Structure 1
């Protein structure tokens, strides 16, 4: 998607063929199993399948043009050591949904340096600040991280090291580690405070990462071409055309 693209329900826009639109979206969603760089744009376009207009159709065509130029791209998993280390990145984009003013969460998880799980999803509740949006996104990522650690243990028979979750918001990290900030977080749904307990009991490690190295950034917003290429590299998406020979 073009950076700063703002989609909405467009109740006065010209309708397009909804059946064709949904068919294209379903095909694109199938590609998400190997193309995490498409997660945000396809996710945004999926929100308007009920009543697609020309505005939404232009975004889908933009995705198809991008895909045509990167048709052989896909995830390249690198063989690593037998001991599995699990780490992940959590990010959010504040209130990018113009209709409900909800934020978008993104997370990526790696076994060693191979991307194995990712998600881009609209949050279920409206937040008051970017700190809260990051806090809620990190809590959702924590639940997934604990499940991945359990899965790795079941597959290998060895308990992996603690999962490290990288977040690029220092206020959110402080909120996770310090219960003194109760006045700033008492209105947040109780289930999102699960991450505090996990940090306190040492079940997960939360660390700060610079925004430029935040690998989940591409799953929360539309990025300029140069930055998208850099994020695509960090996600592990490579040109696999030489492998076709």
Structure 2
């Protein structure tokens, strides 16, 4: 059984992933600012506490838990994300920074802290977006969000190169439309072709097996084109 850390676990894909991993017997540390939905599951294989990826104290709490309870971390899934849908001319510097603090700097920092607990065969999976893929369809209002999702793609490629001798794999899944609360916030009324649980099942299987086949890769998980 594996030790799995999932960020953004209070709703949507992250919430469904936590349940799927735990039901298979894996040990899950489910991190999100709102821990109540996960704690309400009362699952013996899930541990959760309130966690802000931008708060150094919460990052320290995460590190302390892993140090005291696990020998190693097998999978880190960087799933937490912050969405801002606003015309570019109206976005303040602070708002732009807030998106990057979660989607880029937070991902970088939690990855940096978890890496000492990882070993040959461990896997870091970062959830990005088709909006972060160069040449893909872009949507107005998502300048901060989509550009941040492009940044973590490059970050993962760089980490794969830097840690290639360690046997730790770094891969990115650039997701298309999935029926989640975040999608509804970005595009009210839009009906996506995939449910959160369908995508959660895909990511779960990828996180557990794909490190044997991929490293430093970006897979476009979308049924639409371009």
Task: Say which structure, 1 or 2, has more relative contact order (CA 8 Å, 6+ apart).
Answer: 1
Q: TM-score with structure 2 length normalisation?
A: 0.32
For normalisation by structure 1, the TM-score amounts to: 0.30
